Structure 1
Amino acid sequence: MLQRRFRLLFVSLNMILMGGLALAYAYSWQNAFKLYFSSKVADVALLPQSVETSADLLASIRLDDVLLAEPRPTPGRSIFFHETSCYDARNEENYILKLNARQACAIESAALHNPNFQVFVLFADPDGPVGQYNGIQQPLVDALLNYSNVHLRRLNVWRYAAGTPIEEWLNAGKLFGSRILIFCRFMVVHIADFLRYLTLFRYGGLYLDLDVVVLQNMEDMPPNYAGAESNLWLANGVMRFSHNGSGHDMVRACLRDFELHFNGYEWGTNGPGVITRVAKQICGTNHTALMQDDRERCKGFKVYGKGAFYAVAAENWRDFFEPDKLEQTMALTKYSYLVHLWNRNSKVVPIKVGSKCAYAKYAEKHCPLVYHATGEYF
């Protein structure tokens, strides 16, 4: 009996010790992420990761703050991409600011097809001491900056939220309060979801995910819209809102919904869940089909069907990479404004330049400079 009690006591002490270590670990990561986004030192440069490859990497480029630099986003008529790569808290000198060929393709395709819109690539920036960065290939930057309407900028989350309805919530630490945020990939997702609504509140305009390829001009589309991903959900990978009026009111409602329903343990609640819940309230229906058929029901907010942005469903993402699915996929997306490549799954699949799969064909036509600058594999 006594031996059993000692055994139970030993197990209990071990559990308490492990729990304490886990909490300490979580606390240290949360603090690291908060430092990542709140440091006040200015002027960060992108530096090559390796001297040996510095000839092929971006040696030094200043990323000006989007709140200060000219040109500023044109309200309601700018396109925004966000890059929210994670600060590596285990190595304080490694600020990971990345931009790969496929992301660069998304940016070029937007700039190519929308010459009258300014395209802003906003890096969620550590804004700290100059450290070492994962290099961005110089040919990719050269390809993008060949377009006069492409602008690379940085933002600091706290400064960016100042003066907005979400400022108080952010300062209360809610965004970093969940244990799930100790994992980089979840932190990136939550920051990305947060920033897209914040950007659209600040400027209006068109937000696009970095895993798209724009196929045609989008300048004259309605000022307020999103796209259905299924019969139950709208997606937040493509959203446009006006900088005033009903569009601005709707983005304000999205920020409020984000604040009220934020769940650090889930992805969908803070992502597509936000625009879906707000649209359901405005449109007075839970069915995306009814939203599409009756625009007056949604008070000027347009809901596009799956074919506009998500013609190839997430579960069929491999169709973009298989040559024998080329004709089928091209036919399916013939009238799409853009294609969404579902990077969460597809990023592990390399494409050899010259491949006869749909993704390669899109890239060759719609981001030609990036495609030909990327090397052997895209």
Structure 2
Amino acid sequence: MYKPRVKWIFLLLLSLLVFSWCLMYGSSMSRTDVRYCFMNTFSTVPSISSSPQKQYQTQNKLTDGPHLLEDVMLAEPKPNASGRSIIFHETSCPHEKLRSSMQYISSAPLNMMDLTAREACAIESAALHNPSFSVFVLFASPAYRDYNNTPPVMEAILSYTNVHLRNLNLWTYAAGTPMYQWLKDGKLFSSSYVLSHVSDFLRYLTLWRWGGTYLDMDVVVLRSLDKLPPNYTGAESSTYLAAGVMNFAPDGFGHEIAEKCLLDFLLNFDGTDWGNNGPGVITRVMNDVCKTNNIELMMESKRCMGFHVMPREAFYAIPWMKWEYFFEAQYLTETLDLLRDSYVAHVWNKHSKQRRIKVGANAAYGILAERHCPKVYAAAGEYF
């Protein structure tokens, strides 16, 4: 009479075991798969521990058809030691590469160089208002360019001689830095917000490696950044600094702050918290440097040993809770008024990316784009 119960218990335990195994296998596969986003599809998939330099040489053997963009570590010009560079990162993962990786296929469709009109607008506005700065766009997922078929918005930004498009190999880029061993260990790729945290990882690594100005790709630059002092970030609220606009000098105190940010990133990385590894890093570091967590006090002259905490109006005059102000005509006058003293308008892509805006619409984002990225706006088509 107990045999059916024993059999049922056995089947239940077996089911639980299979389910647990599937979860562990799926999680492991997911961590492995995401790495394919940042590997070249024409090469044999490299292991994390292989030589980054060798990986790049293998990738760069392609001679016909689309050409792999040059690697930022090998090409000239590079972000320069004067700190007069503005740097963007493109860290999205093409779906074709991820689908191919799920089947363990090492040859997926090429990731052709492309940007949305809004991303291209950020780049054009930076180049337009800062002609004496070099503007770099670094693609973390290896990108190819077809010189006979360049998308119109890419043609628009490439018409600026100070814009440079480069590939960035994660492992090459991190080699020789405090981040390399941590990257090899793979913790980054198990994050719940892996692409966002790759972006966080790269912004601090870039500022440590080169110095200069880092910008998010969901901004419109409204004026020259030339007169801003070196070493700054911006307040987002009364309690947090933001990481969407940051400048560190390439040496001296700026480099010291960059190193503090790297060490904080490594020590406090949390893959389950979206903001911990971006704004959380610069906020914690400046709390320590300024000896206060009061943002108002941080803005006082000399409080932060020469590091400048810019007021919210400088880069984040429209808070994320009001992101719709950029898209609705009823807020046009108020939005432009709030931005009158701003260097950058931040449109909060995390919240606004699904909101389409018709070219010619009487909304703040369209007005700003027409003024500050005119070539991209003209090339955007029906919607921006």
Matches within 5 A, 1:128-277: 138-178=151-191, 180=192, 186-277=193-284
Structure 2 counterpart of 1:103: 119
Contact 1:44 1:63 in 2 (8 A): no
Aligned residues: 355
3-state SS of 1:64 partner? coil
Of 357, 363, 367, the residue aligned with 1:357 is 363
Task: Tell me how far 1:26 sits from its aligned partner.
Answer: 1.9
- Distance in 1, Cα, partners of 2:169 & 2:278: 21
3-state SS of 1:295 partner? coil
Structure 2 counterpart of 1:10: 11
Contact 1:99 1:136 in 2 (8 A): no
- Name the amino acid aligned to 2:122: A
Contact 1:232 1:287 in 2 (8 A): yes
Contact 1:320 1:359 in 2 (8 A): yes
Task: Tell me how far 1:16 sits from its aligned partner.
Answer: 2.2
- Distance in 2, Cα, partners of 1:279 & 1:356: 39
- Distance in 2, Cα, partners of 1:143 & 1:126: 21
Task: Tell me how far 1:9 sits from its aligned partner.
Answer: 4.0
Q: Which runs of 5+ in 1 are unaligned?
A: 48-58, 181-185
Contact 1:29 1:89 in 2 (8 A): no
Contact 1:85 1:98 in 2 (8 A): no
Structure 2 counterpart of 1:372: 378
Q: Which runs of 5+ in 2 are unaligned?
A: 40-45, 47-54, 102-107
3-state SS of 1:236 partner? strand
The percentage of counterpart residues that share the same residue type is 48
Query: Any runs of at least 4 consecutive aligned residues in structure 1 with deviations exceeding 6 A, and if so which?
Result: none
Task: Tell me how far 1:311 sits from its aligned partner.
Answer: 0.6
Are the structure 2 counterparts of residues 305 and 113 from structure 1 closer, same or farther at C-alpha, using a change threshold of 3 Å? same
State TM-score, norm by structure 1: 0.88
Task: Tell me how far 1:35 sits from its aligned partner.
Answer: 4.4
**1:243-292 CA distance string (max 9 Å, x none):** 00011000000000000011111111111100000000000001111101
- Distance in 2, Cα, partners of 1:188 & 1:300: 32
Of 312, 315, 324, the residue aligned with 1:309 is 315
- Distance in 2, Cα, partners of 1:376 & 1:156: 35
Task: Tell me how far 1:36 sits from its aligned partner.
Answer: 4.0
Are the structure 2 counterparts of residues 90 and 246 from structure 1 closer, same or farther at C-alpha, using a change threshold of 3 Å? same
Task: Tell me how far 1:10 sits from its aligned partner.
Answer: 3.2
**1:280-337 CA distance string (max 9 Å, x none):** 0000001111101x23110111001111111111011011000011001000111100
**1:209-228 CA distance string (max 9 Å, x none):** 00000000002211100001
- Distance in 2, Cα, partners of 1:329 & 1:44: 50
Are the structure 2 counterparts of residues 205 and 318 from structure 1 closer, same or farther at C-alpha, using a change threshold of 3 Å? same
Over the aligned positions, Cα root-mean-square deviation in angstroms equals: 2.3
Structure 2 counterpart of 1:117: 133
Quick check: 325-334 or 160-169, which moved more?
A: 160-169
3-state SS of 2:135 partner? strand
Contact 1:115 1:149 in 2 (8 A): yes
- Distance in 2, Cα, partners of 1:35 & 1:258: 23
